[in-house]
Amino acid sequence: MLGKQQKGSSTSDLNEAIAAEEAVFLERQPLSRQLYRRAIGSLAGGVTSSWQITTPQPVFIEEGRGSHIVDVDGQEYVDLHGGYGAGLAGHAHPAIVAAVADRVARGTHFAQPNEDAIVVAENLASRFGLPLWRFTNSGTEATMDAVHLMRAVTGRDLIVKMEGCYHGHHDSVQVSVAPAADEVGSLLVPNRVPATLGVPRAITDLTLIATFNSVASVKSLLDQHPGKIAGVIVEPVMMNAGIIEPIGGYLAELKSLLHEHGALLAFDEVKSGLTAGYGGATAAYGVEPDLICLAKAIGGGLVVGAVGGTEATMGKVVDGTYEMVGTFNGNALSMAAARAMLERVATYEAYEKLFALQRLAAEKIAMSIEKSLIKARVVTVGAKGCVTFSPEPVINYRDFLAIDDRFNHLHWLYQHNRGVFLPPWGKIEQWTISFQHSDADMERFTTNFAEFAELVASLQ
Ligand SMILES: Cc1ncc(COP(=O)(O)O)c(C=O)c1O
């Protein structure tokens, strides 16, 4: 997805800089290339998830310890990819290793409840303010159950999602995830653009699209479909379009508008939950929704998702009229890891240290931007951060679409070739600092950035 070029930049110079960094990248990854070629014979597309296909080639990882990872070619990196944010604990955290080792030796799965699940639910309730919880095995399953629940509680079929939000890969939310500029339509009532093949129109027609940070956009849909909209699912801070924060009272106004219309609000905190802070974006922005979806970081590196809700919304699960099921839901291994993550790793003290590291890194990056005069901004929320190559604040998907993605791609390559593994996928993704990152790790990152900013300045 390439947007418009930054003003004044020379296309050929920028493309040449990318080509030069890609050549270095490829030279450093011969064994990854061999494995990729072999993988193509048995793994569809050579990878295990389509978003592991990176440019110029996938990187196969051997191991991770603390804040560092090592690839199959023996190259070591400060890991700021963090497995798309699931790695908030860092790798092989001693508390997680101990909990998992203990559990593995005593059996991992019984499809019966266990005490760890109660402890995890109680902990999440105290952090996020919602009383009742259930577990899933992915973020996709969590948002799927949240959408089902909004429909079950209200008896209505239509749901609303925001243009540019990704909520996983179930049918109802595979609409307007990353539409192109010529597909989006009006800002007030954006077009519904299917995200992929294979999703029936009959399902996507039940999903309406609104603009993030615009209560008017949701109001217009509620007025057009009176009594028909079950609710809105939204990332309270958008994290699949760089980082886009809610402006002013947006989330609170959205909630009261929906409740006035008998509709519900679901926060997708799969990315922001735990990374935005101790109580996720829900606590950080001070608005409690009817439902919260979590996954990624809550498992401390293992596979866990969760849905929390009010007594009213989870009432349908309690009375059995909505059956929320799954063989591996709340399995003993995932619950042991999640318990260790919540009780022993993601503590108030750990957040304080992490926030201090992030603040310092953001200050240094902002100084490099100022000194080099490049058209960019650094945006951080909790453990997450990104550099947005736009001089103006980005408040919705349309602003994000206009950013030239080549600057982020070049940044990814530049850091990678100098020992820092940022998340691939350019302007879409953010870095994640783990609880095990150090001053030295962030120094490597910000020093690289300072040099990179000078390179960009010479291209703009
Ligand atoms: C905001 C958000 N919701 C849901 C999901 C889906 O989670 P999973 O990949 O665990 O199914 C993602 C994944 O990136 C996400 O970023």
pLDDT digits (tens, 9 = 90+) for 288-317: 999 999 999 999 999 999 999 999 999 999
The response to whether residue 273 sits with its C-beta less than 6 Å from ligand 1 reads no
Write down the catalytic residue from 219, 255, 271, 296: 296
Partners of residue 431 on adjacent β-strands: 385
- Residues in Cβ contact with 255 at an 8 Å cutoff, skipping those fewer than 6 apart: 265, 287, 289
For the chain, the average pLDDT equals 96
Q: How far apart are CA 428 and CA 53, in angstroms?
A: 15
Q: How far apart are CA 154 and CA 417, in angstroms?
A: 52
pTM for the complete prediction? 0.96
Distance 203 CA to ligand 1 centre (A): 20
Contact (Cβ atoms closer than 8 angstroms) between residue 52 and residue 58: yes
Write down the catalytic residue from 71, 116, 145, 268: 268
Q: How far apart are CA 195 and CA 144, in angstroms?
A: 16
CB-count exposure of residue 450 (10 Å: 0-12, 13-18, 19+): middle
Q: How far apart are CA 404 and CA 337, in angstroms?
A: 40
Domains and CATH numbers, the chain: 11-79+348-459 (3.90.1150.10), 94-345 (3.40.640.10)
pLDDT digits (tens, 9 = 90+) for 52-84: 988 999 999 999 999 999 999 999 999 999 999
Tell me how far CA of residue 150 lies from CA of 130, 135, 262, in angstroms. Answer: 15, 17, 11
The response to whether residue 143 sits with its C-beta less than 6 Å from ligand 1 reads yes
Rg of the chain over all Cα atoms, to the nearest angstrom: 22
Mutate to test the pocket of ligand 1, among 140, 141, 147, 381 (most ligand atoms within 8 A of CB): 140
- What is the model's pLDDT at position 4? 37
- Mean pLDDT, residues 20-42 taken together: 97
The response to whether residue 384 sits with its C-beta less than 6 Å from ligand 1 reads no
DSSP 278: T
- Mean pLDDT, residues 148-156 taken together: 98
The response to whether residue 387 sits with its C-beta less than 6 Å from ligand 1 reads no
Share of the chain above pLDDT 90, in %: 95
DSSP result, 157-177? -EEEEETT----SSGGG-BSS
pLDDT digits (tens, 9 = 90+) for 316-368: 999 999 999 999 999 999 999 999 999 999 999 999 999 999 999 999 999 99
Ligand 1 atom nearest 84 alpha carbon: 14
User: Using CA positions, which residue lies closest to atom 13 of ligand 1?
Assistant: 168
Q: Is 166 known to be catalytic?
A: yes
Identify the band that residue 460 occupies on the pLDDT scale cut at 50, 70 and 90. Answer: confident
User: Using CA positions, which residue lies closest to atom 14 of ligand 1?
Assistant: 168
The response to whether residue 268 sits with its C-beta less than 6 Å from ligand 1 reads yes
Q: Please, what is the Cα angle at 265 between 264 and 266, to 5 degrees?
A: 120
Bridging pattern class, strands 61-65 and 68-71: antiparallel
Write down the catalytic residue from 36, 77, 84, 166: 166
pLDDT digits (tens, 9 = 90+) for 174-222: 999 999 999 999 999 999 999 999 999 999 999 999 999 999 999 999 9
The response to whether residue 295 sits with its C-beta less than 6 Å from ligand 1 reads yes
Partners of residue 304 on adjacent β-strands: none
Q: Is 7 known to be catalytic?
A: no
Q: Is 427 known to be catalytic?
A: no
The response to whether residue 272 sits with its C-beta less than 6 Å from ligand 1 reads no
The response to whether residue 116 sits with its C-beta less than 6 Å from ligand 1 reads no
DSSP result, 29-54? -HHHHHHHHHHTTTSGGGSSSGGG--
Bridging pattern class, strands 291-294 and 264-268: parallel
pLDDT greater than 60 at residue 1: no
Token pair belonging to 323: 């059956």
Distance 429 CA to ligand 1 centre (A): 12
